[in-house]
Amino acid sequence: PWTPLLFQAEPDRSSRNSRLRSFYQQGQVESDAASVGLNVDPCDIDGAGFDPEVYLSKLLQEQPLTSLMAKEQQMVDQIRQLDSDMQTLVYDNYSKFISATDTIRKMKSDFHRMEQEMNNLAESVSAMSQQAADVRQHVGGKRAELKRLAGVSALLHKLQYLLDLPARLTELRREGAHQQAIRAWQQADRSVRRSAELPAYQADPRMQRLLGDLEAQAGSLQDDVLQFVDQGCNHLVSELCILIAVFGDIFPSPESRAKLEAYHESVMRSYLAIVSKRFCLEARESGGTGDSLLVRACDRFHRKLQAMHRLVTEGELSVRALAVVCDAAAERAAAVRAQLDLRLTAALSGLRSQLATAGARSVSLPQLMAGLLTELVDAVKAALAGLQAFLATDVSFSLKPAFRERFCVRAVRQELLAGFLNHQATQCARLAQLSPTPPPLLLLLLSRYCLDFRNSSLHYLCTLADEQFLVPESPQAEALVTPVSELSAVYSDSAAELLQAYVCASGGTLAGMLRKSVDARDWLQGIEPRSVRAVVKRVVEDLAGIDASVSSLYDEAPSGGGGRGGGDRSSDSSASRLARRPLTAASRSQWSATPSTLGNSLLHRLFSDKVDLLGPAEFGRASVVSGVVRLALKTLLECVRLKTFGRYGLQQVQVDCHYLHAFLWRYVSDDSVVHFLLEEILASAAHRCIDPVSMEQSVVELIVERD
């Protein structure tokens, strides 16, 4: 019966020992196995190479029955002991595992709570950082100023004793406490002497430093003009006011007051010069959008100095501040005037380029003139509207009589408006004097522009400026401004000069063609004429173009109500006028190049009226074109007088003159001018001819009608 128990207990015990050793002594077993190697004892029940079969065989062979039974009982006891130890270990491990699980659960709960607290802490730190950044951004640039103000505040608290000292000494003297008054004075005297070298007690170096900072900013536009004014008013003027108030209370004697006034005058003279320099620079360099900013700066400066004037009545500080504002406003008006001058120059240059490249037949002269008139009138109106910011009702100096006289009357009405209008007329008239001569169409267009500007825009702009800037109708104001009648006369003279220059330029072009044709031809040698010369036909064609250009801007004759300016432009074309005055036999009978005409030319000139060949052109189509015709024919006459003609040369001149008469009478207001000049040309040619035999009139008419 013991054998089954033995064989049953040993495997269970061996497996349990093996598992326990593998769990608790794995490292030790591996090290022992490594040290022992293959030399293991199979009968060592506690060894790694234990073999139950060998161990049992050895016991059966070597041990008696009693020893085997004792061995069995020993092994059973050991098995029970090991089972008890293993159970104890399991219970201990389980209790530790339960304890560890509780600890982990508690730590997890604590971690959740700590995580929430850390998140709250992180949010609080982030909010504090943002607030600190906002405060740093808001106060960063003013940190030095805040530090200075804090120091000033602490210094003022320390100075409170000194400020109260005069009243205290007076009270002690009134009460008869002379000893206490002497001690108070000695204590204050020691404090003042001890602090005399501190920068806070040295007013003049601080004022000089502030003036130096303002002087550096006055020559540049990097800083805003409002900031410039605020820095001067909030620092220099405010400290100067405090200094005056405190100094007057502490040192009320007349001598001290005189020294204070001298010091105040020195500082304010420098400050006003610096502010005037900056205001004038702002007025010159800023664009149209800077007017409101400049006005606000001037208003803030004027209000601050008006308040200071109530504290210091000497020196007429308010008047001097207004003078600085007037200088700035006048400088702004001058800058606007300069912009208008540049606008006028650009407009005239663009118009000249357009006419030079396009030509007369591809552009509409009335449209160009209307566009130029609208552009410049709108520019003047915009300039006046921009300057009205200085007269806003909320501006402290806008109603001052001195400001209105300096700005409204002198700067705007006279120097800006009247000056620009006079400059415009003069600039247009100067084009007539340029060499080389500008395009003739430009001269013609500008002459009509000056007339239309005089008739429609001159009085309107002057009235607009008087209404917008409240220019008074007083003898003093009228003596300061240029009257409209004088400006109107300037524009009339400019228009007349331009028109005369157009006549000279256009007539000079035709005269040049005729002169070259006369000089290039051999009038002694030639054949009998069979047609009109091509240059004469070209002159008539160009004259038709000149007539069309003039007709687009001027009417037939000057209107009686418009003086030299003419009335409305006629819409009739050159073709319609030619249709109204056809070439009839009656008109041809008025002039003919017959031999009798050639013979009686001298007698005819003796009894005919004198014809004005180079008189001034009136503002009308007929007068302008007549001037061109007179100049061209007069040139042809002078060229003929310098040549010697043969028979056929004389007959060619006869044919050309008849052709010219057939067309030129249509463009002139007085046919006698054409008759006279053509007769002079024929008479001169006959006089210079070596064989003065004229062509029959019928043949001449036939050639002209065929051409």
Spans of all domains in the chain: 68-191, 205-321, 330-482, 511-553+588-706
Is the dihedral angle over the CA atoms 633, 639, 640, 642 positive or is it negative?
positive
| pLDDT value of residue 476 | 76
For the stretch 213-252, pLDDT in tens is 666 666 666 667 777 777 777 767 777 777 766 666 666 6
Across 494-498, 541-545, 600-604, least confident range? 600-604
In sequence order, the β-bridge partners of residue 645 are: 689
10 Å CB burial of residue 534 (0-12, 13-18, 19+) is exposed
Residue 357, phi then psi, degrees to nearest 5 = -95, -30
| pLDDT value of residue 346 | 93
| pLDDT value of residue 318 | 80
In sequence order, the β-bridge partners of residue 689 are: 645
Angle, to 10 degrees, between the axis of helix 238-250 and the axis of helix 203-218?
A: 160
Taking residues 592-601, report their average pLDDT.
50
| CA quadruple 573, 575, 576, 577: dihedral, nearest 10 | 90
The helix/strand/coil state of 528 is coil
For the stretch 120-150, pLDDT in tens is 888 889 889 888 888 777 776 677 777 777 8
Structure tokens that stand for 106 in this block: 């508690």
The helix/strand/coil state of 689 is strand
Nearest partner of 426 among 480, 348, 334, judged by Cα: 348
CA 707/CA 705 separation, integer angstroms: 5
CA 602/CA 638 separation, integer angstroms: 17
| pLDDT-derived band at 17, boundaries 50, 70, 90 | low
Residue 337's contacts (CB-CB under 8 Å, 6 or more residues apart) are: 383, 415, 416, 419, 420
Taking residues 385-390, report their average pLDDT.
89
Taking residues 379-384, report their average pLDDT.
92
CA 521/CA 541 separation, integer angstroms: 21
CA 448/CA 553 separation, integer angstroms: 7
Across 386-400, 470-484, 606-620, least confident range? 606-620
- Contact 620/500 with Cβ under 8 angstroms? no
| pLDDT value of residue 67 | 85
- Contact 355/445 with Cβ under 8 angstroms? yes
| pLDDT-derived band at 340, boundaries 50, 70, 90 | very high
Across 212-221, 431-440, 475-484, 513-522, least confident range? 212-221
Structure tokens that stand for 466 in this block: 């008087």
Q: Which one has a higher pLDDT value, 161 or 262?
A: 262
Structure tokens that stand for 530 in this block: 């069979």
CA 154/CA 307 separation, integer angstroms: 27
- Give percent of the chain with pLDDT exceeding 90: 14
CA 660/CA 537 separation, integer angstroms: 8
Nearest partner of 337 among 278, 395, 414, 398, judged by Cα: 414
In angstroms, the Cα distances linking 673 to 108, 436, 650, 676, 687 are 124, 30, 22, 5, 21
Residue 219, phi then psi, degrees to nearest 5 = -90, 10
Across 38-52, 406-420, 617-631, 681-695, least confident range? 38-52
Predicted structure pTM score: 0.64
| pLDDT value of residue 418 | 92
CA 569/CA 551 separation, integer angstroms: 8
| pLDDT value of residue 200 | 45
pLDDT over threshold 70, residue 599? no
CA 3/CA 569 separation, integer angstroms: 152
Q: How many CA atoms lie within 13 A of 459 on its CB side?
A: 8
Q: Can you spell out the DSSP letters for 429-489?
A: HHHTT-SSPPPHHHHHHHHHHHHHIIIIIHHHHHHHHHHHTT---SHHHHHHS--HHHHHH
| pLDDT-derived band at 377, boundaries 50, 70, 90 | very high
User: Position of tokens 């010091």?
Assistant: 263
The helix/strand/coil state of 645 is strand
Residue 379's contacts (CB-CB under 8 Å, 6 or more residues apart) are: 340, 343
The helix/strand/coil state of 340 is helix
CA 699, chain centre distance (Å): 73
For the stretch 430-442, pLDDT in tens is 988 887 778 888 8
CA 495/CA 489 separation, integer angstroms: 10
